[in-house]
Each structure stands twice: as C-alpha cells, then as structure tokens.
Amino acid sequence: MATFLAPMAFQGVGRDTKVILVGAGGTGSAMLTQLHKLDKSLRAIGEYGIDVTVYDPKKVTETNIIRQHFWSESDIGFNKASLLVNRFNQFGGTSWIAMNKLFEVSSANEADLIITTIDSAKARLQIGKELTETYKFKNSLWLDLGNGSRGGNCYIGSAHAKRGSGNPPSPYQLFKDDWESIDDSKISEPSCSAREALEKQNLGVNDAMASMALFRVLAPLMIKGEIDIQGFFLDMVEGEMPIPYGEDTWEIYGYVDSKVESAA
C-alpha cells in the first residue's frame, strides 16, 4: 500500500508547524477544538506543536448557537474568529491569532498547512486558483473539509502539486470540476432560527467531520509521520469510505502523475 510521508515542517523539527484555518463556523469551530488537542498532544511528546491563525469575517448570530461552538446568546455579535481564539489563548495556553476578515492567499506565505472549512464552492475555487498561480506553497499542504446534511468529505493534498513531481494533487486539482457544478446560492441561504438550522443539518455532523479529520488524517500524519489515506467520505448513517493515497485514486478524478513512488 502506498503511503504519504509528512514533510519536514510537520515533524516538529526546530519550530511549530504553521497552520491556517479558513472558517470559524460549524466545522471550523469544531476543527479548532481538535487542533487544540493536537497541539497539546504534540507538545506532550516533543518540544513543538502547531501555531494557528484563524480567518473568518463573520460575527456570531442567534442561529449559530448550539450547532456551532459558541456558548450562549452572550456570544451574539462578536467576531467568530476572535471569540474562539481568545478563549483558547486565555484558557488553553495558546498564542494563536484571529483575523476577522476573508482569507487571502497572499497573506499566507509561511503556512505549512491550510485548512478550509467553508461552505462556498466559489471561495474554494478562488483559493485553489490563487495557490496554483504561485510556487510559494510547493512544500505546503491543503486540507479541505466539506459537509452536508448528514455527512461530508475530507481530503488532504499539496497546496499545489506540479505534475510529474510525485506530490499528491491539491483539493482544487482533484475536485475542481465538482466545485464548479455547485450552486452556492442554495448552500448559503441563511437559517431563520436554530430550529431551522438543525433541520438543514443533523446535530453532530460538524463535530464528527472534525474529529474524523484529526483521527484519520492529521494525528497520524503529524504524530506517526505518515498516512496511507488522503481523506474520507463520511455518512453518519452509512459509515465511512476512505480515500486511499496513490495514483490510482487520483486517476479516478482525472489527475495523472507518472512519478508516484509506491511503497509495498
């Protein structure tokens, strides 16, 4: 079975791994909790952990309470990114950064890992296009998390892979056609109440996606140094379907790279 080895920046050698989290909503706020667990685990077994910067321009609304990681009506009106990051910094011993604005690729030159947890396919396409147009991220990884009413998908690859390099393709390079077929207007319609939000998406989907992303992808990659899957599709009723690492998987989505080295 082919395996993907963690880049040097993910091995805790000399410094913290620099992580950018794009989105602090349902899955993003859940993912931040998992990143805190990962940071503490890495520091418990070594000298270094992760240094996280969170991007989200939105403020907490009434419909965000319960399904997202916000505590009560007293959170309403505060910036999502600042509110979450300040809590981890104050009570969790981190020194993370909140950016209450849209993520721009130009501001992420030093990122080792970019995690996108946004609903907008258009925004994903824009991020992918910008990453493709620069070579600054040749050694960086991109983890994308998407979700639906009762499940979602997780995929990690290069921020941008040059064909023939043997590096895993990015989410953009693999799923660009799928993203282009998505109508954002149907996804981003706001809920009028917490009840309506729960009717659109089962309670616990965001937490399940974030937990599985940590358990199946990030923890093995950063603690053990390798993974044999690049992600998964998750249905809360039917179960999980892993996305194996390797050229055979990439070819299913139309991406061909002839220099993949397989491990027996």
**In the prediction, which pLDDT does 189 show?**
52
User: Residues 205-216: pLDDT tens digits?
Assistant: 999 999 999 999
User: Residues 22-77: pLDDT tens digits?
Assistant: 999 999 999 999 999 999 999 999 989 999 999 999 999 988 887 788 888 999 99
Pick the residue with more confidence: 135 or 244? Answer: 244
Ranking 122-131, 133-142, 214-223 by mean pLDDT, the lowest is 133-142
Lookup: tokens for 236: 């809360």
Instruction: Identify the band that residue 162 occupies on the pLDDT scale cut at 50, 70 and 90.
Output: confident
Structural domain spans, the chain:
4-252
Question: What is the 3 state secondary structure string of the chain?
Answer: CCCEECCHHHCCCCCCEEEEEECCCHHHHHHHHHHHHHHHHHHHHCCCCEEEEEECCCECCHHHCCCCCCCCHHHCCCEHHHHHHHHHHHHCCCCCEEECCCCCHHHCCCCCEEEECCCCHHHHHHHHHHHHCCCCCCCCEEEEEEECCCEEEEEEEECCCCCCCCCCCCHHHHHHHHHHCCCHHHHCCCCCCHHHHHHHCCCCHHHHHHHHHHHHHHHHHHHHCEECEEEEEEECCCEEEEEECCHHHHHHCCCCCCCCCCCC
Is the pLDDT assigned to residue 262 strictly greater than 50? no
Report how far residue 258's alpha carbon sits from residue 189's, in angstroms, rounded to the nearest whole number.
42
**In the prediction, which pLDDT does 187 show?**
57
Model's pTM, two decimal places?
0.91
**In the prediction, which pLDDT does 236 show?**
85
CB 137 within 8 A of CB 162: no
CA dihedral for 56, 60, 66, 67, sign (positive or negative) = negative
Percent of the chain with pLDDT over 70: 89
CB 166 within 8 A of CB 259: yes
The correct CATH number of 4-252 out of 1.10.1670.10, 3.40.50.720, 1.10.1740.110, 1.10.260.40 is: 3.40.50.720
**In the prediction, which pLDDT does 201 show?**
66
